[in-house]
Amino acid sequence: MGIRLKDLSKIGYRDNVARSLVVDIVNKHCKHATKEQIEMTLSDILEHPESYKNNEIWNKLAERLSPTIIAKEFTAYDLLDEPLMYKTYGGKFIETLAKQQMNLAMRLPVTVAGALMPDAHAGYGLPIGGVLATDNVVIPYAVGVDIGCRMSLTVFDAGVDFLKRYSYQMKEALKDFTHFGMDGGLGLEQEHEVLDREEFRLTPLLRDLHGKAVRQLGSSGGGNHFVEFGEITLQENNVLNLPEGSYLALLSHSGSRGLGAAIAKHYSLLAREVCRLPREAQHFAWLDLDSEAGQEYWMSMNLAGDYARACHERIHLNLAKALGLKPLANVNNHHNFAWKEEIAQGRMAIVHRKGATPAQEGQPGLIPGSMATAGYLVCGKGVEDALNSASHGAGRAMSRQKAKDSFTQSALKKMLSQAGVTLIGGSVEEMPLAYKDIDRVMHTQETLVEVQGRFMPRIVRMNKE
């Protein structure tokens, strides 16, 4: 049973953070309660918050409503003298700067554990491929600018011969039903329930971003984001429960567009105002999840993640409908996000995965290579030292600028032709040789994931840089 904002206003809930807490709690814990029961409980909490401070479900709301809450000024923090120990996978193939960035993250006083994935390379703040567990705080910059950036794979009821017989139609569908770049979206009206979410009304920032979210729904960003058709070969007894064999599949990679970028910018700046760190660690400024700003960011981050998922759902639905394809299975996962998870010895922590795939035991995931190399459908093994994570791809072997300086468009076309890949858009910055060897990366994380299938791109759509 849900509850609407106007219902909360009638009861007396006018604080935005308290309202967001109510929405979250009701959605999670009150599915079988009547509206009257929920409203009675909420009225009682509003009048007697102290009585609910030890309640397992309502304690955070009670703390928020308590008159003893005091506004905090900024706090200055020192770093630990030495970084906490952490596990690195495929370390000899990871650049020194990425390791230095991870070492710095492991010196934060709120850090409790970490791991570095084999596709790791330098980023801003936490390296791409870094996994960081913290004690009840969230670091907006460790989640990243593209909140909820994710992979989504749909397997269709068609064999790989579909790629040859209908290649023209598939190329035209990709041109008509995908959009890349900073501006707008598809130019076609897109509908999804995420646009009606209450959270869009709970903060001034989210209210201002709603229009952009509507316009950009179902589109992708720039950089290494893509939508591609290809063939996937599934192994016997695979995690999708599909018969062994080869199928037509659609793989997409993108995130939360302008919505996520604006949320990241706003709360990263706010974190720096309340959490003062030494200059070299400023990007790691955090928000306490018991604070108003922390609750607002957490709510906004989750909304952005759901919006990213909605964009992929629209892309896959539009293309399937245009080509008359029936989906058999779908796998999707975030890789720029933070989760409340149980880590070593039952301890709860906030696990940030910046360019890392969740790999809990039995959890399906996707690890792509490049536009001319294989990607893999995997199943997590739940390795504690890796914080239940794996790589999110092959990882860059050289920067975008270095790739631009090193390769030509004709060399890219020749390589793709030899690999049997058609590219729509794209640039030399995404040259396959600019990425690490995906099979070597997979070899270094055999203890983290089990391969279930192998995907080969055939028709790739990217932004024209």
Q: What is the CATH number of the domain that holds 311?
A: 3.90.1860.10
In a domain, 87, yes or no: no
Q: Are 16 and 202 in contact (CB under 8 A)?
A: yes
Residue 394 annotated in ligand binding: yes
Q: Give the per-residue pLDDT at 1.
A: 57
Q: Give the per-residue pLDDT at 71.
A: 45
Residue 393 annotated in ligand binding: yes
3-state secondary structure (DSSP) of residue 270: helix
Last residue of a domain, one of 44, 65, 86: 65
Please name the residue that has the structure tokens 């598939």: 170
Residue 67 annotated in ligand binding: no
Q: Which domain holds residue 346?
A: 150-462
Query: Nearest 10 degrees: CA dihedral of 62, 64, 66, 72?
Result: 150
Please state the domain count of the chain: 2
User: DSSP class of residue 369?
Assistant: -
Q: Give the per-residue pLDDT at 262.
A: 94
Give the DSSP letter string of 379-446.
EE---GGGTSEEESSS-BSS-HHHHHHH--HHHHHHHHHHHT-EEES--GGG-GGGB--HHHHHHHTT
Q: Give the per-residue pLDDT at 67.
A: 65
Paired tokens of 440 = 């070597």
Q: Give the per-residue pLDDT at 158.
A: 95
In whole angstroms, give the CA distance from residue 32 to residue 146.
35
Last residue of a domain, one of 36, 65, 94: 65
Paired tokens of 343 = 């880590």
182 plus 304 within the same structural domain? yes
Residue 224 annotated in ligand binding: yes
304 plus 403 within the same structural domain? yes
In a domain, 325, yes or no: yes
pLDDT block averages, 10 residues each, the chain of length 465: 76 80 86 83 85 84 70 80 96 94 98 97 92 98 95 96 96 94 72 94 93 93 92 96 97 95 93 93 96 95 97 97 98 96 90 97 96 96 97 93 93 94 93 95 97 97 82
Q: What is the pTM of this model?
A: 0.84
Catalytic residues: 392
Residue 372 annotated in ligand binding: no
Instruction: Spell 119-133 as b/e; 16+ CB within 10 A means b.
Output: bbbbbebbbbbbbbb
User: DSSP class of residue 254?
Assistant: E
Residue 28 buriedness (CB in 10 A; 0-12 / 13-18 / 19+): exposed
